[in-house]
Structure 1
Amino acid sequence: MHTSKIFVLSLLMTGIGAGVQAQTLDKVKSNGSISVGYREASIPFSYLGSDASPTGFGWEICGKIVDEVKKVTGRSDLKITTQAVTSQNRIPLMRNGTIDIECGSTTNNSERAEQVAFSINYFYTGTRFLVKAGSPVKSVEDLAGKTVVSTTGTTNYQVLRRVNDERKLGFKLIGAKDHNESALLVQQGRAEGFGMDDILLYGLRASSRDPAELDVVGKALQVEPYAIMLRKDDPEFKKLVDGVVAGLMKSGEFETLYKKWFQSPIPPKNVNLSAPMSDELKDNLKAMSDKPAT
């Protein structure tokens, strides 16, 4: 076959493949399985429990979405496969079809929306700092000239780099592969503070060997929404996901789940995060917006 014809056929086949892959419900019905991405240490959204299985607030909501997928596709026998994801690989794994949905602690922002889609926002958080208890660090300004760590591939890392430049703080910003490693660097004294979403810091502190050894400090540098991540250009699946989230918000079940995971003792150490619902989230229980952070 002529080279130009082969090229055209290749483009057509690529387009067809992308179209099929993008339609999650068709893919799931055909394959008889759905792949759910989870985080290993994003307490209380998505993390490994004491039995080494995924659990958490986001994980439970994903379970309800999967139940709806079973109904819509008529696949009561639907197989659920799980895939651990990191800050660095979660978007590539969504785009290449390895995972079909991700319920973790992923910020919904405009930049990411060019590559993936997001559900109605289901949490709001801001960048603060995990430090050793008794540390003189109480604000980002107190970190001037010191070493600060954040997890590579997160929006927090970018925020900290920007704040460091804008305020001329001169702190050394280093990257860690995941949240546990970032927290460990603080515990070992190799970093003065770990900048990350405050709710994740509360979770890491709660699951640490001695929660009293760590503090969460500082005013939030910015407020960002979390949402369930799914593939871009798949309006049918987004409608289903949004429908489940909206249904939970309207029925009051969302608030029940919130109290279970944010205001009650949770595994693995039965520590209560005691995190009240933010005004932004309260407002979104009514607005049910999927508006991204800028």
Structure 2
Amino acid sequence: MLIGRLVIALGAAALLALPAGAQTLDGTLKKIQETGEITLGVRESSVPFSYNDENQQPVGYAIDICLKVVDAIKAELKSDQIAVKMLAVTSATRIPLIANGTIDLECGSTTNNPDRQKQVAFTNSHFLTASRFVSKKENHIATIDDLKGRTVVSTSGTTNIKQLTEVNAQRSLGITIVPAKDHAEAFLMVETDRAAAFVMDDILLSSLVASSKDPAAYVISDDAFSKPEPYGIMLRRDDPAFKTVVDKATAGLYQSPEILAIYDKWFAKPIPPKGLTLAVPLNPVLKKAFEHPNDSGDPAAY
């Protein structure tokens, strides 16, 4: 009888020694615990959110946020031995790689919208941007209607190319739309006069112009294809336990002074590899989003 009680007591002690929630872990948290690693999807040219530095190492604003989330996951699982793997993704591959479990978090410049929420989940928004176009000043392309009959590029698999396609049809502009594999390739097409304009999120266009050979040669349109839209870090759908940890981590970060330091690091100070400064101050709308974190894909929620 005494031995039986001892066995029960030891069993209970062993359960208490396990990480919090370990007895019922499932989904992504279970996967991370069992494999001892978490995989982040990163981009190669989404400056300053997620891109490669001079050493071809992934850096950026969204990556810094994701690494804070990783710290929270380690704390949740009571393990500091979890390895962080980074896997390059593109606009076309990022959603499938989240959905099939290849990557656990996508750390980049992905727009959160209702269509995408049918395939993936998002945590609290970390940026707001509008879809505009960049062109060479010498071509005097000021408005969306000025794109009529021209060749315009956008990145494959983005909301921007969808918006461009819709506006092209609605206004009968006769635009020849060319998909590019990534933002760098798309901007190069404008730089080399193979396209008259590149439609993309305005903050990404600003970074591409700032890092170009001749920033003064380009202009970003005032005309926009969209209202300001939220960026979010993607994770798998139907995984409430993992989303709870990620949401708590991002909300805590955004409501702390630490997010202001991270923002300042990437948008107000010189960034690698060329030491360029984007000089994009924190606007009141994003400041409000930080104070009241949410994962809505509706621009009206901000």
- TM-score between the two structures when normalised by the length of structure 2: 0.87
CA displacement at 1:43 relative to structure 2:
0.5
After TM superposition, the structure 1 stretch with the greater mean CA deviation from structure 2, 272-281 or 20-29, is 20-29
CA displacement at 1:84 relative to structure 2:
0.2
Q: Which residue of 1 aligns with 2:131?
A: 127
1:251 aligns to what SS in structure 2? coil
Are the counterparts in 2 of residues 126 and 221 from structure 1 also a CA contact under 8 Å? Answer: yes
Q: How does 1:59-138 map to 2 (within 5 A)?
A: 59-138=63-142
User: Could you tell me which amino acid in structure 2 is paired with residue 58 of structure 1?
Assistant: A
Are the counterparts in 2 of residues 40 and 54 from structure 1 also a CA contact under 8 Å? Answer: yes
Are the counterparts in 2 of residues 21 and 97 from structure 1 also a CA contact under 8 Å? Answer: no
2 CA distance for matches of 1:211 and 1:116? Answer: 36
Q: Which residue of 2 aligns with 1:53?
A: 57
CA displacement at 1:66 relative to structure 2:
0.9
Q: Which residue of 2 aligns with 1:16?
A: none
2 CA distance for matches of 1:199 and 1:246? Answer: 23
1:120-160 alpha-carbon deviations (Å, 9 max, x no partner)? 11111011112123330122111111111101100000001
2 CA distance for matches of 1:237 and 1:53? Answer: 27
**Structure 1's 41 and 268: CA in aligned 2 closer, same or farther, altered over 3 A?**
same
2:266 aligned with 1:264: no
1 CA distance for matches of 2:162 and 2:231? Answer: 16
1:37 aligns to what SS in structure 2? strand
1 CA distance for matches of 2:247 and 2:211? Answer: 31
2:166 aligned with 1:165: no
Q: Which residue of 2 aligns with 1:239?
A: 244
User: Could you tell me which amino acid in structure 2 is paired with residue 281 of structure 1?
Assistant: L
2:199 aligned with 1:195: yes
1:138 aligns to what SS in structure 2? coil
1:265 aligns to what SS in structure 2? coil
Which among 217, 229, 235 is matched to residue 234 of structure 2? 229
How many residues are treated as equivalent by the alignment?
Answer: 275
User: Could you tell me which amino acid in structure 2 is paired with residue 99 of structure 1?
Assistant: I
2:121 aligns to what SS in structure 1? strand
User: Could you tell me which amino acid in structure 2 is paired with residue 250 of structure 1?
Assistant: Q
CA displacement at 1:236 relative to structure 2:
1.3
After TM superposition, the structure 1 stretch with the greater mean CA deviation from structure 2, 280-289 or 103-112, is 280-289
2 CA distance for matches of 1:100 and 1:233? Answer: 13
CA displacement at 1:208 relative to structure 2:
2.2
CA displacement at 1:22 relative to structure 2:
7.0
2:259 aligned with 1:254: yes
2 CA distance for matches of 1:123 and 1:72? Answer: 26
Structure 2: runs of 5 or more not aligned: 1-23
1 CA distance for matches of 2:33 and 2:251? Answer: 24
User: Could you tell me which amino acid in structure 1 is paired with residue 220 of structure 2?
Assistant: V
2 CA distance for matches of 1:64 and 1:40? Answer: 20
User: Could you tell me which amino acid in structure 1 is paired with residue 170 of structure 2?
Assistant: E
User: Could you tell me which amino acid in structure 2 is paired with residue 227 of structure 1?
Assistant: G
1:89-133 alpha-carbon deviations (Å, 9 max, x no partner)? 001101111100011001111111111100011111011112123
- Runs of 4+ aligned residues of structure 1 deviating over 4 Å after TM superposition are none
- TM-score between the two structures when normalised by the length of structure 1: 0.89
Which among 47, 53, 60 is matched to residue 43 of structure 1? 47
After TM superposition, the structure 1 stretch with the greater mean CA deviation from structure 2, 96-105 or 164-173, is 164-173
User: Could you tell me which amino acid in structure 1 is paired with residue 231 of structure 2?
Assistant: Y
1:7-37 alpha-carbon deviations (Å, 9 max, x no partner)? xxxxxxxxxxxxx997111110110011010
1 CA distance for matches of 2:126 and 2:63? Answer: 12
2:301 aligned with 1:282: no
2 CA distance for matches of 1:140 and 1:41? Answer: 25
1 CA distance for matches of 2:159 and 2:233? Answer: 16
2:98 aligns to what SS in structure 1? helix
